[in-house]
Structures are given as C-alpha cells and as structure tokens.
Amino acid sequence: MEQKTSKQAHVLVLPYPAQGHINPMLEFAKRLVFKGIKSTLAITIFQSKSLHMHLDPESSSIAIETFSDGYDEGGYAQAESTEAYLESLNVAGPKTLEELIKKLDDIGQPVSAIVYDAFLNWGLDVAKKFGLISVPFFTQSAAVNNIYYHVNRGLLQLPLSETQVSIPGLPLLEASETPSFVHDYGPYPGFSGLILNQFSNVDQADWLLLDTFYELEEKVVDWMAKLWKIGTVGPTLPSMHLDKTLEDDRDYGTNIFEPKTSVSMNWLNNRPSGASVVYVAFGSWASLNPEQMEELAWGLEGSNCHFLWVVRENEETKLPSKFLEEISESDQGLVVSWSPQLEVLAHESVECFVTHCGFNSVIEALSLGVAMVAMPQWTDQPTNAKYVEDVWGTGIRALPDEKGVVRREIVEKCIKEVMVGEKGKKMKENAKKWKRLAKEAINEGGSSDKNIDEFVAKLLCS
C-alpha cells in the first residue's frame, strides 16, 4: 500500500552483506516505498542464492538486484581470510555496482540516489561518478559512529594512551567501553580498516542517515549535526512492531538461517501461566569460546528461569554434554538454531534478553520494552552495553573474570537481578519508556518520520 506516488526518484539501497546490515536497510527501503519512492535493494550474488527470503506484499514492491563481492559461490565463508574477502569486496563491489546502475538505466529505471552502507564507503565514489545523490547509512549507534569519526580524523589516537576516553556528546568512557577496534587495536586488521574508514569521505556526501532515533541519542546527534546533514531514521523494526502504518510489514523478510518459528513460539505459548522467560541470543556472527558456552549454559540452568536460547548450528558442538537432555527433561529450556527474534522479544512472557549487544538486538529490545543482561563480545558491543546499563538504564552488564569469561554465578545473579531484583524493576520501567519513545519517533510526525519525509522531499526535487 503506497501512500503517495512520486515522479522519477529511484533509490538504490546497498547494505554490507551481513544480517545486521540488511535488516535495517531493507526496513528503511520499505519506508521509502511507502512514501512513494521506488527502491531497489542490492544484495550480493551469493546472498541472492542463499538468503531465506520471504518478503511480505508491502516490500515485494522493492526490487531485488545483485552486485558481487567476488565470492559468488560461498560469500565470506569462501574467502581465505577476512582481509582477502574485504579486498575482493572493495574491487568487485564498485565494479559490479556500476554495471548494475548502467543496467537499470538501460531498462528505463535510472537511479537517482545511492543509500550505501557506511561500511562500503566506495558507494560514494560510484554515486559521484554517475552524478547521483550519495547517502551513507550507518547501522551502528550515533555514539559509536562519533568515536569512529574521532579516530578517523586523528582526534583520538590509537593505540589509546589513556585509561579513559572523552568524546563530545558521550559520557566519559573507560577504555574497555570503547569498541574493540579502538581499545584492542591490532587484532582485527581487515575489519578495523573497514570500520575506522567509514568517515574518510563523508564530507562529500549529501546526507548521513543513522539507524537510531533522536530521543535515544540526543546529545551526540546534536553534536554530529553541526558537521553534516544528519537524519536519524530509526528504529528500523518492521512497522507492525512499532507504528503499524505498513500493514503487511511483520518481519524483516530475510534470514541467513531458517528461523525455527513454530517450535519457538509453541514452546513460549506453552509455558505455565505466569512464567517469565529469558531469551538468549548472540546474533549472527559472535562465537563464544567453549568455556564461555559451558558457563553460560549452567548459569542459565542455575537461574531456575525458563529460557529460550539461540545456538547457531556451527556453535552447537560447544554445548556441554547432557545439557540438552537435562533441560528438555526438566522442560526448563529450549535451544534453537535461529529464532524469529522480534516475535520472541514481543512475546508477553519474555522479560529478559541475554544479548551480545549487537546494535540491532539492542534497538529491538529497547523498541519492544525488554530489559537486558549484556554480554558484549567485540566490535561496537562494549559501547552498546555501556549505554544499555548507564545511559538508557534498561539492563545490567555481566562482567567477565580476568580470563575474559563470564562465570555461571554471574550469569545467574544478573538474570535474577533483572527478573526479580529491585534494580530490575527500574530497568523494566525504563524499558517501557523507551518502547513508547521508539514508537513515537517513527510514528507519523515523530522525529524519524519527519527526517524520512525531509529526505523524500529532497529526492523528489532533485
């Protein structure tokens, strides 16, 4: 259902090829379609063959096209190393994106703007070459982006020399609360190059879009808005979980793994009445070491709470032996290889989310009003966890020991704190507040909706 029709504006949306990037950018594209802008989502050739796609009628008006990362048969898993993958993506990506733009032009669907993932900063060069509006889309929090900006411009020198870091618009951070690419500079050469370079050419972009909402990160957004034209356009959850304006938009519609929907939802629906459930998931990428997996498993069991735990297939062998039998006999928990995360978080019995703090997971929990136990692993997750606990007040961090492992007693203690503790009550109140504000931001006339309208107006008059 389109709200209005436009003239020739056509936006090409180009996410970095990972679940946590496709989800928000696809949702943004759905909002553009709703507002009358033709939108095409470009995914890699490998993803076009491997993603589980079930796009709802609303988003079926989004065209799907492909570009190449150079690994058309296996994607990232096919590459010899992260560096090899990113090198190939940076060569094959812009080349095949140019081919796609020419093809769309040839078939009478000329592109007028590229909304490219800020991780793919070559999107700007391609846009400029074709005289198109160029718009980086940032899928991480504004706070994290501002840290990366400071590193990129040499305003924050790496490796860090101080134990605390002061960045405008952010609370004072302990070094360990900055992203791993900042406080643990060195171990991830490929990814850190990609991520720290996001700001290398943004000064030439027409607009910067952020997958957050103004009320969530007011101070840092105000600070960044002094430098660039900024638009906060989040939260980018499917509309039926927020404002309900896009009637068919119930889920993201793309999954790297097949979600175990009926098993998960039946299990949740069959919990004894009044039972509260802990949902546990570490996103699409993070890999726990076997010791951590074992501690988490027994910590969950020891909490005596019902729990639904996502353990991806490639992580399953790390589960302690007998664990699955024990929890199934006692009916305390269920392990699935991939869940319909939004439906789970929106379920009335889910009261606590043990999360790695990927930004999508955090913003989903905030938008659906679920308190969190934060177990950050790497990248932006330590900073998100800091915000969850100290800025947004909707969770608690489960702290690791000197070996970097969160012990079972800590897991148990943190879950209990959220589920039944005094602090937990306050976290749940805050979670409800953020749920309301998230919905208001994207609702008609809210801060994000206004920004999307302004962006649409720019597209229409360009």
Contact 430, 10 (CB under 8 A): no
Nearer to ligand UDP, 184 or 453 (CB): 184
Binding site for ligand UDP (CB under 6 A): 19-20, 23, 259, 281, 283-286, 310, 338-339, 341-342, 358-361, 364
Q: Has 21 been annotated as catalytic? A: yes
Nearer to ligand UDP, 127 or 240 (CB): 240
Span between the terminal Cα atoms of the chain, in Å:
24
Helix, strand, coil percent values for the chain (each to nearest 5) = 45, 15, 40
Q: Has 347 been annotated as catalytic? A: no
Report which residue type is found at 376: P
Nearer to ligand UDP, 111 or 256 (CB): 256
Which member of 69, 117, 251, 449 is catalytic?
Answer: 117
Q: CB count, 10 Å around CB of 5?
A: 8
Nearer to ligand UDP, 148 or 223 (CB): 148
Which member of 21, 150, 241, 347 is catalytic?
Answer: 21
Nearer to ligand UDP, 40 or 341 (CB): 341
Q: Is residue 454 helix, strand or coil?
A: helix
Q: How far is the CB of 9 from ligand UDP (least distance, A)?
A: 27
Q: What are phi and psi of 274, to 5 degrees?
A: 85, -10
**If you count them, how many residues does the chain have?**
462
Q: How far is the CB of 459 from ligand UDP (least distance, A)?
A: 26
Q: CA–CA separation, 381 vs 221, rounded Å? A: 19
Nearer to ligand UDP, 9 or 89 (CB): 89
Nearer to ligand UDP, 239 or 284 (CB): 284
Name the E strands within 277-370: 277-281, 306-310, 333-336, 350-355
Q: How far is the CB of 271 from ligand UDP (least distance, A)?
A: 19
Nearer to ligand UDP, 239 or 341 (CB): 341
Which residue's C-beta sits nearest to ligand UDP?
Answer: 358
Torsion of CA 441, 443, 444, 445, to 10 degrees: -20
- From 50, 52, 47, 92, select the one nearest 69 (Cα to Cα): 92
Q: CA–CA separation, 272 vs 422, rounded Å? A: 24
Contact 411, 418 (CB under 8 A): no
Residue that is written with structure tokens 């269920």 in the block: 334
Q: How far is the CB of 421 from ligand UDP (least distance, A)?
A: 25
- From 147, 136, 143, select the one nearest 192 (Cα to Cα): 147
* Contacts by 343-346, CB closer than 8 A, 24 or more apart: 343/251, 343/261, 343/264, 343/265, 344/264, 344/265, 344/268, 344/279, 344/308, 345/279, 345/370, 346/241
Q: CA–CA separation, 344 vs 180, rounded Å? A: 29
Q: How far is the CB of 341 from ligand UDP (least distance, A)?
A: 3
- From 374, 390, 382, select the one nearest 426 (Cα to Cα): 390
Q: CA–CA separation, 414 vs 243, rounded Å? A: 32
Q: How far is the CB of 14 from ligand UDP (least distance, A)?
A: 17
Q: How far is the CB of 357 from ligand UDP (least distance, A)?
A: 8
Q: How far is the CB of 189 from ligand UDP (least distance, A)?
A: 19
Cβ neighbourhood burial of 433 (10 Å; 0-12, 13-18, 19+): middle
Q: CA separation (Å) from 79 to 89, 285, 391?
A: 10, 16, 39
Active site residues per annotation: 21, 117
